[in-house]
Structure 1
Amino acid sequence: MTTTPPRWTCACCFDHHNDYTSIDVNKFKMCTTCVKGMFERAIKHEIDYSAIVTLTELHPKHFDHIISSEFVERYVQREKEYKCPTSSRAYCKHFTLGGSKESNAEACGKFVGPLRQEEKEVVLIVASCGGCSRLTCLKCGVELTSIEQSPAHDCEKRITEAKIAETEEIERAFAGLELGKDFQRCPNEPCSRPIQLGEACNHLTCTYCQTSFCFVCGTLQEEGSDHWFRGGCPRYNLPGESNAGYDGEGGYGGDGWGGGTPSPPPSPVIRARAASNAGWGNDGRAQSPTPSMREADTVNTLVAARERRRRAIENGAWG
């Protein structure tokens, strides 16, 4: 007797299937395309790392029946990069053979390991790039042509020059922008990524390091803390504005809003991104070459989307 395959719906893409290919992920059925897609996006974009379903972090090694060992290895390598603080990452700066900065050739750009600037002893710390096999100093991040060249270059001088250049670049990128209004930095020091808030409440969770904080003052704050009552920072909009909304006011039920006749909370203002000639274009998108600035433009939108997805999953409304 022929058995009819079960009918099921993928909890991620909502496509309907009549087969036995479903993958159970935390009690939800997902198709192989969606499961693979989560990990592929995580490798391609740091903002999509890690793959999370119902607050559980997934790893491709647990899905070896649909994911190759080569992909798992690439994922592990990328994972090492993501888990290294941004300011401590060393990337291969060697240009393609025959290329140079003057000829606009692209640098290799592969992650070679964490910088080790805190080490005081005189020690050669050199890493070989997994892409082009050439060498990089892990104390200052400079490219090397050979092991013999390493003692000749001045690490301390290069580290100082790099910090000055980084400070100048950040100052140019943030010229004309006000902290707590146009942008805020993640208070987790190893992360410290700049984040913009287009719309939504002032409680943010950094997508990269999951740090919970206040957009206005930049301090560590949890969703349910009393920080959002009057005397602290408003949950919606900015202090001093006529539509600033605090917990306990407005009569909105749940999440700290209470008392009085039920009414919606103050509408969040869509804040126009400040534009200047130093790093910000007319469309408000970051043009600075600083990676964290390029990524920051979409952080808040994706944070909100992931939070909505997580809450829907927990409430049984996802899938």
Structure 2
Amino acid sequence: MDNEDNEDERTEELDTLRSIYPELELDPGDPFAARIQLLVAPTTPLPVTFEPGQSIERLAYLPPLHLKIALPAQYPAEAPPSVTLSTSPSWIPADKTNILKEEARLLWEEYGGGQMLFAYVSYLQETAETAFGLEELTLPLSLRTELLAYSTRTKRELFDKETFDCEVCLEPKKGSACYRMQRCSHVFCVACLQDYYNNCIKEGDVNNVKCMSVECGKSEPGSNKKKDRLISPKELLQIPISTEIVERYAKIKRKKKIEADPTITYCPRSWCQGAMRTKKYPKITNVHEMDESDSEADEPVSAAAEVAQAESTFEKRKVGITGMDRLAVCEDCTLAFCQICLASWHGDFVRCEPRDATQLTEDDQASLNFIMKNCSPCPTCSIPCQKSYGCNHMTCFQCKTHFCYLCGAWLPPERPYDHFSNPKNKACFQRLMDMAEGDMAQGDVQFGGRRGAEQMADFWEQEAMRIQMELDAQDS
């Protein structure tokens, strides 16, 4: 084969390769040399350990593989192509690079001196999907920032170019107007996410700050019920949700956890009432760093479990009554006080007694009286619930338990209305729509369950007072 035919064959192969890969660049100074960048996006993100420090990251995208091709005059019949492989920064081990380069010669031999550039580029692309066979990688800590930034930037650039159907508004949107959930990869448009999460947080419904897909959630073993994972503050900021709203979300979540924990003591100062300092619920300082620590949905605590936990805590305090475990410091006003008697801290060796739990302030007692008279407790978590309108089939705002507002009975979620059509339920039979305008709109209504017992006790107390007043009037 003469040189002219050889040149034509090399030119033809590079032109064909360029038609398949438009990003292929020919060398201006050498008509038989070219270069191309190949995307490295492992199907499974590659675990990378950065030393020193042992910081481990899973990278979905790594800096591209730079392939330089030079076709000698003897190619393809008598000599293989010359290939050079590199990355910037250099992250592929040298031994792995040598194996990839050797594959070019092996393919040339396999093709019997025929054109094999397309097969070689395809091979590199396929092996890039497995990170060139690497199961893990160890790199210097100095490369961490650059590689993380590249992976994040590339992921966003590719996402922005795609088109998605938002699972809420069902409209096709460009990726640049959408957000992919980090844990489950469901995609929604940013406008729908912002509307939903802003409303949830403003209304205090933080347990619904989760993925909106009906398919999302992890089923518990042996149960069809899905366990929801809440969105972390750090991810909310990336959607983006405003810092002010995210701070409110984090504070409400923390407040709910503290109020559900009977081991937490509150500052005795009436003008403060701050919670005691505790490592269990650290004060929120920077929501930008809050990732997974506060992303779990609150588990409802039954009344019996809460009482048992409180009793256990009280017994522990009695055992350590002469120790430093009595000392508490208010996280707001920094008052040091005793957890047993709630007086200012009096030292380790002073014996004290627990303050009577019934000693409520006038405002606390008035609030408690209103709650007992005007709210029905959830049978699962005991959270007081008040109906503003609608039927007497209630769903607890806290734990989503279905129950009857009139008697407090638990209702099966699949058949909640059977309760109101069963003659055996005398307090609730055919009373589904009683108080449809709200708890406070119809005056006195007969309840059952605990609230009914409170109602009867209040009635007889009023009757006793009336009779006593009549007897006093007769005596006078």
TM-score, length-normalised on structure 2?
A: 0.36
Higher helix proportion (structure 1 or 2): 2
Larger Rg: 2
The answer to which structure, 1 or 2, has the higher relative contact order (CA under 8 A, 6+ apart) is 1
TM-score, length-normalised on structure 1?
A: 0.50
